[in-house]
Copies of this chain bind each other. A is one copy, B any other.
């Protein structure tokens, strides 16, 4: 489905509605970039965004994370974390260790192979992002970054 002529932004029929126009454009850009990332992760590494995100969390936490910590951080329910972890474990990228203090719990960690593999993917991933955002100058990036920070605060306040 590449090279389409239309997209979500064409939903709008009239010229007012500033917030709505802005939202449709924001959604359109973000979706387009996300689709690119998903396609490239699949084509180049045979993986998916949720799997990549789980590995990224583990890379930030070399001592590992319990399943429920992963669930909170990835904002998905526990059953999903079990499924993704099963896949990554089968690929030898992560392992479950018993929790020393709580026998209900597991600590999930990157294997050495998982760390190597993630680092390789992360570097490529960052290069894709840099390329996709090359349409903005560093100053413009900073500007949007700050505006988004402000918006995020508002979203947090309004939608608990």
Q: In the complex, which of the residues B6, B34, B144 contacts A22, with contact meaning CB atoms closer than 8 Å?
A: B144
Main secondary structure of the interface of A (DSSP, over half): helix
A50-78 contact mask (Cβ, 8 Å, vs B): 1 or 0:
00010011011000000000001111110
> Is A43 on the interface with B (CB-CB < 8 A)?
no
Which of the listed residues A23, A133, A136, A144 has the most CB atoms from chain B within 10 Å of its own CB? A23
Q: How far is the CA of A147 from the CA of B73 in the complex (A)?
A: 30
6 tightest A-B CB contacts, nearest first: A135-B154, A30-B30, A6-B73, A19-B133, A11-B56, A19-B130
Q: How far is the CA of A82 from the CA of B116 in the complex (A)?
A: 44
Whether the Cβ atoms of A22 and B145 lie closer than 8 Å is yes
Q: How far is the CA of A156 from the CA of B133 in the complex (A)?
A: 12
Q: Which residues of chain A from 1 to 26 have any CB-CB distance to chain B below 8 Å in the complex?
A: 1-8, 10-11, 13, 17-23, 25-26
